[in-house]
Structure 1
């Protein structure tokens, strides 16, 4: 048998094997809602709200990131915003902005000059404390091409 026929036979055998073997499938388990609690539980203990806004216009990035904690529970809030620029393989942090408040909210509201022809995003870390206990949420924003 020639080399060309062996290759064709090998490819056809591979295709036959791949189509004959069933592919495992996953399905979600059914949820019994009859025993579910009717009260709504918060997802976070110390953070009540997170929000950010990211715009670039005329070479200036406008960055706003705010967190709210629960009144009388949250004792300290920290917002860390990393402005990142797309490199060849990785996202590189261009500038980091921080806001720390010993109360139930914190906000970063700033501008920064950016280069044209680049792609930017934000990596935002929100941390809230109640005494010595803390919780953290991290958000990566959408990307903006300049």
Structure 2
């Protein structure tokens, strides 16, 4: 029974490690891809993080995919890897009454630790909304 339990756990672990995420490092589909998520309101979502010394520079931009978009909202999360999980250390949210939004932030970080930027963007039209999530590593 114990061997069967260990085998089952190993299979589940391997399955989880090979699963494809809808919101990975490139959640937006380019025109040539035959897979991924197709967005109708979001045209583009980009993000980047760079670390120099003890300062992380975070940047993100979302833009509309069509003229129906009236508002944008974006949340930036600076996350630190602790053991096997990502823990949010700082969060910034901004919105705009336009069809695009750019955000730039700086944060203090500790040397020797692993960080990433997680961005969630939502765009709104008169009748609906659409969200996308993207991550970036230095």
2:75 is matched with 80
Q: Is 1:50 equivalent to 2:45 in the alignment? A: yes
1:6-85 to 2 correspondences below 5 Å: 43-70=38-65, 72-85=67-80
1:135 is matched with 130
CA deviations over 1:35-88 (Å, ceiling 9, x no partner): xxxxx9x93211111111210001100000000114631011111111000112
State the TM-score, normalizing by the size of structure 2. Answer: 0.68
Cα deviation for residue 120 of structure 1 reads: 0.2
Runs of 5+ unmatched residues, structure 2: 1-31
Give the match's secondary structure for 1:108: strand
Structure 1 segments (4+ residues) deviating >3 Å:
none
1:94 is matched with 89
State the TM-score, normalizing by the size of structure 1. Answer: 0.65
Runs of 5+ unmatched residues, structure 1: 1-39
Root-mean-square deviation (CA, aligned residues, Å) is 1.9
